[in-house]
């Protein structure tokens, strides 16, 4: 055999080995990605047990890969499931409306909740805590207004014992919007936007939470989900820390946790989603890991949500715990990836 033929045969074997190695690497990466996405879609209690019993490098790797990939596959409606009530017959005329103000149950929340009507949203205000307990707002499908100049925060003269914006200065906490500025401005304009800057709509939030995962969910509510599901009804609020902790130099109670409840009706389906975040949730956190059932949230918050929904809709929606954030349109997935990278 000539040297030229031997060289050619050796090169062919090298290429085959390289291709086989690449194929094996690809197969391993695909298997790991599938396993990671499967891993993060388990309930939080199961995941906590795995963190304790499995090697740290393994669970960290699975979380890192599974959360990033799972957020995309969930958005594309490939993985995960939602809490959905499906009508067996044509639903009643009209859409599911905001199903009543949250009702206090037990002693978790204060008894002095005063409802403030802001036209396009409502605030359940506590004069004793000097912050909102809950807020409710409606997001229409179409954005009718462009973003303008950001208003200044202002004391709410109609809210008993309203803080002054300066009470938050040098506190280490953001003035966290409950009803978000962007969702209201884009649907209802600057006059209603200014109302979101009243201190009755503000609660102390750590910068990491306010500017991180909380903002991420707000953008999904304002920009992604209405394009997929139509109108949304949202309840946001706070859960006391139970320690009586207040902003330095004030008696403004610092919440221990924050929640969001989102409801939508799409054709024959009514879907609901609830997330709850600890005050000290890290900046780069994945919202899907904080999904709870509405029943679980009611126990934490001491409130009865959606009390005016018919029981045959309310009970199954509140019992089921979704495993993902709602999917979005395929054309919005790249925007979602950019949002997650911010």
Q: Which residue has the tokens 């709602």?
A: 326
CB 296 within 8 A of CB 261: no
Buried b (16+ CB within 10 A) or exposed e, 32-57: ebeebbebbbeeeeebeeeeeeeeee
Give the whole-angstrom CA distance, residue 62 versus residue 212.
Answer: 22
Residue 43 has pLDDT above 50, yes or no: yes
Residue 200 has pLDDT above 90, yes or no: yes
Q: State the pLDDT at residue 1.
A: 52
In degrees and rounded to multiples of 5, residue 140 shows phi and psi of -80, 170
The model's pLDDT over 317-337, given as tens digits with 9 standing for 90+, comes to 999 999 999 999 999 999 999
In degrees and rounded to multiples of 5, residue 240 shows phi and psi of -55, 150
Q: What is the mean pLDDT of residues 224-243?
A: 94
The two structure tokens encoding residue 141 = 């499908």
- Classified as helix, coil or strand, 24 is helix
Q: By mean pLDDT, which of 41-45, 205-209, 249-253 is the weakest?
A: 41-45
Alpha-carbon distance values, 4 to 11, 13, 14 (Å): 11, 14, 15
Tell me which of 3.20.20.120, 3.40.570.10, 1.10.3720.10, 2.130.10.10 is the CATH number of domain 83-341. 3.40.570.10
Q: What is the mean pLDDT of residues 251-278?
A: 94
Residue 2 has pLDDT above 80, yes or no: no
- Is the full-model pTM beyond 0.85? yes
The model's pLDDT over 54-104, given as tens digits with 9 standing for 90+, comes to 999 999 999 999 999 999 999 999 999 999 998 776 555 544 455 788 999
CB 264 within 8 A of CB 225: yes
Model confidence band, residue 30 (pLDDT cutoffs 50, 70, 90): very high
CB 137 within 8 A of CB 179: yes
Residue 260 has pLDDT above 50, yes or no: yes
Q: State the pLDDT at residue 185.
A: 97
CB 165 within 8 A of CB 153: yes
Mean pLDDT across the chain: 91
Fill in the DSSP letter of residue 117. Answer: E
Residues in the chain: 342
Give the whole-angstrom CA distance, residue 77 versus residue 68.
Answer: 15
The model's pLDDT over 270-298, given as tens digits with 9 standing for 90+, comes to 899 999 999 999 998 999 999 999 999 99
In degrees and rounded to multiples of 5, residue 218 shows phi and psi of -60, -40
Give the whole-angstrom CA distance, residue 316 versus residue 293.
Answer: 10
CB 308 within 8 A of CB 100: yes
Residue 5 has pLDDT above 60, yes or no: no
Domain ranges of the chain: 3-75, 83-341
Q: State the pLDDT at residue 94.
A: 47
Give the whole-angstrom CA distance, residue 75 versus residue 212.
Answer: 19
């Amino acid at each position: 055999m000539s040297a030229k033929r031997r060289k050619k045969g050796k090169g062919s074997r090298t290429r085959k080995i390289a291709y086989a190695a690449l194929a094996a690497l690809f197969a391993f990466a695909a298997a790991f990605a599938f396993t990671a996405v499967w891993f993060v879609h388990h309930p939080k209690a199961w995941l906590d047990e795995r963190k304790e019993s499995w090697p740290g490098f393994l669970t960290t790797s699975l979380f890192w890969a599974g959360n990033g990939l799972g957020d995309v596959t969930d958005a594309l409606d490939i993985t995960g499931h939602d809490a959905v009530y499906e009508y067996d017959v044509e639903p009643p005329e009209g859409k599911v409306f905001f199903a009543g103000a949250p009702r206090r149950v037990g002693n978790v929340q204060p008894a002095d909740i005063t409802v403030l009507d802001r036209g396009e949203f409502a605030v359940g205000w506590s004069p004793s805590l000097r912050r909102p307990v809950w807020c409710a707002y409606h997001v229409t499908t179409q954005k009718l207004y462009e973003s303008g100049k950001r208003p200044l925060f202002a004391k709410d003269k109609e809210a008993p014992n309203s803080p002054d914006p300066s009470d938050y200065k040098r506190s280490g906490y953001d003035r966290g919007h409950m009803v978000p500025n962007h969702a209201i401005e884009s649907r209802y304009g600057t006059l209603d936007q200014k109302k979101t800057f009243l201190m009755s709509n503000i609660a102390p939030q750590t910068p990491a939470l306010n500017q991180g995962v909380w903002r991420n969910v707000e953008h999904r509510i304002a920009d992604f989900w209405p394009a997929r599901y139509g109108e949304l009804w949202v309840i946001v609020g706070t859960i006391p820390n139970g320690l009586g902790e207040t902003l330095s130099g004030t008696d403004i109670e610092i919440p221990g946790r924050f929640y969001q409840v989102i409801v939508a009706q799409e054709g024959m389906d009514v879907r609901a989603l609830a997330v709850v975040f600890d005050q000290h949730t890290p900046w780069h956190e994945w919202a899907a890991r904080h999904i709870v059932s509405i029943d679980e949230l009611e126990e934490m918050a001491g409130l009865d949500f959606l009390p005016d929904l018919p029981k045959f809709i309310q009970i199954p929606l509140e019992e089921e715990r979704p495993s993902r954030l709602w999917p979005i349109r395929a054309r919005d997935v790249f925007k979602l990836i950019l949002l997650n990278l911010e």
